[in-house]
Amino acid sequence: MALLLRLTLLFSLVLLAGCSGLFFYPQKELLQTPDNQGLEYEDVVLTHDDGLELHGWWLPAATESPKGTVYFLHGNAQNISTHLMNVHWLPAQGYHVFLLDYRGFGRSEGKPRLPEVLEDVQLGLDWLRNAERVQGPLIVFGQSLGGALTAGVMGREQNQGQGDCVILEAAFTGYQDIMKEVMASSWLL
């Protein structure tokens, strides 16, 4: 009986550890760069205290007087190269744009796990807070998973009042709802 209990516990732990992996669908290969869209850009590397590096793109506004800065957080699949089309038009409209790949996505190191991905979003927000190039209002724009991450990070007490505008597009109501949907289509069940 004790052996059966241990095996059940071990199986449950392995299953739970794998759930985070089922939640994210990162793609390492970049399919395009802002160059392909005729956009000026700069590669940005942010480093966590433990040395893990995250990759992002800074797209400067194409106007002399920027209207603001947009921090764009993408969904749970692919990487910033496939989500660029959501914001490629903003520099021409006078907005700086910062796109960040979470750990395990694109050129960012590591493996995506939910608590750590929230810290990736926080690192990007902290970088923007201290970047001299940020001008005008800070707009935090999260799409799908990025919307849920945006809500989670911007809702922290330390971030109250840090964004002038928060946009949540196609954000979901909770991680449990998404996990139910993902698990329903998984071979595990």
User: What is the tens place of the pLDDT at every residue in 56-96?
Assistant: 999 999 999 999 999 999 998 999 999 999 999 999 999 99
CB 153 within 8 A of CB 125: yes
36: alpha, beta or left? (left if phi > 0; alpha if psi -120 to 50): alpha
pLDDT at 7 > cutoff 70: no
Q: Is the dihedral of CA 43, 44, 48, 54 positive or negative?
A: negative
Q: Answer for the pair 69, 137: CB distance below 8 angstroms, yes or no.
A: yes
- Rounded to two decimals, the pTM is 0.82
What are the tokens at 24?
Answer: 């994210």
What are the structural domain ranges in the chain? 26-174
CATH of 26-174, one of 1.10.645.10, 3.40.50.300, 3.40.50.1820, 1.10.357.10: 3.40.50.1820
CA distance 3 to 165: 55
pLDDT band at residue 13 under the 50/70/90 scheme = very low
